[in-house]
Structures are given as C-alpha cells and as structure tokens.
Structure 1
Amino acid sequence: MNPGDTDFSRLSLEVADFPPLNAIALHGTERFSHPFRFEIDIKIPRGYPVQQLAGQRARLRWQTPDLGAGLRIGVITGGRDLTCAAQPEVITRLYLEPPLALTGKTVHTRVLRGLSLPQLIELILGECGVPRQAIDWRLSGQYPVRDYVLQAFESNFAFLQRQLAEAGVFYWFEVDAAQRRERLCV
C-alpha cells in the first residue's frame, strides 16, 4: 500500500433505479469552495448499460478502519472504460459530483440586474435544477442588491465562483441524510 492509500473495508455505490454496483476502488477530493469529485471504479458485466448512469443521482458509502464511515450524495457526471475488449467483466470509472458541478456545462453572456448575492446564487442554481431547499444559508454579512452584474462568455459555475470570491464567501457540502441529498452550505 502506498502512503496516503486507504484500506476500504466496505464500499458501495447506489444509483437511482439501478441495482447496486460492485465498487472496487475510490479516489476523491474535497476542498472548500470547490465541488467534491469522487472517481469510483466499478466491476460490471459486459453489455451493462453504463451510459445510462450519466446524469443519475447516486449515493456513495464507504467504511474504513482509519477514517470511519462516509457518505456522499451527488450526480454521476461521466465515466470511462478501464478494461480491454477481451475481458469478460468490465471495469469502469464513474465520476460522482454535486449537482453544482453541472453548472459548468452552461455558458452565458448576460447582464443580471437588481439581485443580491443570495438571490444570484438561488437564480443560477435554480437554472440548473438545484432546489432552494438544498442551500443552507450561513451568511453573516449584508449583501445589498446590485445594480447589475455581467456574466460574459463564462459558465454558470465560473460566474458563480467569481461572484462568491469577490464577496469573500466560501462554501462547502454536507450530507442531509434525512432528505437523501447533499446540502450546499454558503
């Protein structure tokens, strides 16, 4: 085992409307003010409709002797095949990210008028299907309504990141197990 490797005694990936997947490896990153990203290697039979997993909500659970239990809820944002054609089983790497990561797929040039920072966050996330209830507001300052903000040739994600950074606001994710979703804490 390499330094920094973790021994996973239990690892599971559940994707909505699909049978549980045989997860065999996990690598992930989590940082303040960035969406988490987990790469999950799964073993599936040849012919499994893996392309149908993209865009599906999923739960990733792990149990390790040194880190304890973990849970992340997100969206499968992509994947790739890791095996050659001669093998009977396929090892595929799937990517699990929060719905916020989907905001990087839409690029706009527009002027938004008469919005405070919290209203702007709700607008951008709402356009990407993130419900208002998935945001946990922990802001302590006042964020006045701005005359306008310009989003020029940038993704919704880059625009949102820029607006939060300019205001000195950071964010992170917490699991809301009761609601079966990730919460964006701002």
Structure 2
Amino acid sequence: MDESGTLPPSLSKIFNTSLSQSQRLLSLSVSAPLMPHRLVGEQRISQPFRYTLDCFSQQGDIELKTLMAQPASLSVLQADGGYRHLHGLVSEAALLGEDGGVTYYQLTLVPWLEMLKLGRNSRIFQNCSVVDILGQVFKGHELARGGYRFDLRREYPARSYCVQYRESDFQFVSRLMEEEGLWYYFEHSGNGRGENDEGQEANRFDGHRLVITDDADTTQPVQPRVIRFHRQAATEQEDALTQWGGVRKQQPTRVSVGTFDYKQPSLTKRTGLSTLSDQG
C-alpha cells in the first residue's frame, strides 16, 4: 500500500477476484458466499453428528440470523478425485473476526434430529407400537419429512399406554429406542436426494437421512474400508491418518445400590461392585 492508501495493482487484482471452491479439499454449499478451510467433526452411533466449519468470505456483512436452520452441504475431496458428501442444518453461526479484506465465520452443522431438542411436550399414545409412536412424533416436524427410514428385523408389539411427559421430542424418542434396543445412524447422499419412511424416493433439501435399525447386519461398510497410517508430507497423494492420539476422562470406579427396610430403619442395606478402575 502506498502513501495515498491505495493497494498496488497486483494486490488489488487478488482481493477483487472472486474466490473459487474448485478442486479445494473442502467445498461448501450454503445460502451465503462462504469458503471452508477447517473442519472438525464428531460422529457416534445413536447420537446426532456435529460438524464445525471455520470459513472465510470476501463479504463482511453476512447476517448470521439468515443462516439459522438453513441446509448446508459439505464436500470433502478424496484421493481418487471423488467427493465424500456431508449434509446438515446450520444450528449455530458465529463471526470470528476480520483480517484485511477477508472475514472469518464459523458454522455448526447438525442433523434435523438435533432440532427435536428444542421445546418440550406432554402427550399420551395408546395401542401403538414403538415404530408407530416414532413415526407420529417425526411427522409432527416439517424438517423430518422424507428424512428417515426404518430398517428392522424384528416385530414390535403395540403398547397399551405410553406417556411423554415434559420431555423434548428428542429425549422421548431416544428413551423409546433405548428401551426397545433400537439404534440409529445417518446416511448422506451424494446428490442431495434421500428416501421417505416408505422407501419411495423424494427430494431432500439437506441430503441426510436417519436410519433406525435393530441389527448390525443392516449396515454397510464405511468407505474406504482400509486407511493407512502415514506421516504428514507435502508429497503425500493418498488418504491417510497422519496423527493418532488418546484422551482420558475421569470416571466412577464403583457402583453402589441401597435399600430401606421400614421395619429396621436403623439397619443399612447396601451392596456395591467395583468397576474397571484403570480409567481406560
């Protein structure tokens, strides 16, 4: 920059050029001109996924509220030139700061199931199986339409009486699935399309789908099935794990239960069992 505060022509041309996501490791499709440069993700069985994206943009006046609950599609470039696609809804958007002509943002992507944590409900279901109850709960949410399917191997009898009391819909369906031994995971389509609960193809605006199952044989292996552990190098051309670390967390070392005998109130009746105390 010269004394007049004007950028040299070469730098001015760079800052005035639109950023492109072509052939980048990460690319993002969302309702704002954002380019991702860092991804931190967490996926677990029977838990909503969570992807945190650090992004930058040449536009510094993006209104964060316009991003809330908007669908977003993230593509991760693979070694073979293809892409792994991840889809979700924006649950959180943050402005991190500005440096020169670039503004930094952070987005958090979650599945539609995460949105069921918002609000509480109380209601009664009569003569319904767990599958019927889950379907009724999901059909009450527009975001869930066409975004789930059941892949079950067992039959589930009707419950004469089932109560949801001051629980979020997420807490309620999670409790029901745990009681019946059901578990779930998420599928991400490559073209933004999914299926509804009847297996019929339907347009999916966010491209992810909840799959509820009771048998591990219903799942498909995650690709690639084998991944190398290799040192980080600029010349590396294949997908690989470059670092492996461990985490330890303090846990209880004993389970103890007790009971009370009204005929002998002064007598303590308690038993316990030690857990694995090596903390992992």
TM-score w.r.t. structure 1 length? 0.84
Amino acid in structure 2 at the alignment position of 1:136 = R
Tell me if the contact between 2:97 and 2:103 (Cα under 8 Å) persists in the aligned partners.
yes
Q: In the alignment, residue 78 of structure 1 is paired with which amino acid?
A: E
> Hey, what's the Cα distance between the residues in 2 that align with 1:153 and 1:89?
46
Q: Give runs of ≥4 in structure 1 deviating > 4 Å.
A: none
RMSD: 2.2
Aligned partner letter, 2:209: R
Which amino acid in structure 2 is aligned with residue 59 of structure 1?
A: S
Task: Give the match for residue 170 of structure 1.
Answer: 183
Alignment of 1:10-89 (within 5 A): 10-15=25-30, 18-44=31-57, 45-65=59-79, 69-83=83-97, 88-89=101-102
**Cα distance in structure 1, aligned partners of 2:69 and 2:121:** 21
- Structure 2 contact 64–94 (Cα < 8 Å) conserved: no
Identity of aligned residues (%): 27
Structure 1 stretch displaced more, 34-43 or 108-117:
108-117
Contact preservation (8 Å) 2:27, 2:76: yes
**Rg larger in structure:** 2
Q: Which amino acid aligns with 1:123?
A: Q
| Counterpart AA for 1:51 | K
Any stretches of 5+ residues in structure 1 without a counterpart?
1-8
What corresponds to 1:3 in structure 2?
none
Where does residue 184 of structure 1 map in the other structure? 210
Tell me if the contact between 2:186 and 2:211 (Cα under 8 Å) persists in the aligned partners.
Answer: yes
- Deviation per CA, 1:56-92: give whole Å up to 9, x if none: 11111112549x73211221111222226x7643211
- The number of aligned residues is 174
Q: Distance in 1 between matches of 2:186 and 2:115?
A: 15
Listed as ranges, the gaps of 5+ residues in structure 2 are: 1-23, 194-203, 213-280
Q: How does 1:104-183 map to 2 (within 5 A)?
A: 104-129=117-142, 130-131=144-145, 133-178=146-191, 179=193, 180=204, 181-183=207-209
Match in the other structure for 2:226: none
Change (3 A) 1:87 1:107: farther
- TM-fit CA distance, 1:147: 1.4
Counterpart CA distance in 2 for 1:24 and 1:142 is 46
Larger RCO of the pair (alpha carbons < 8 Å, separation 6+): 1
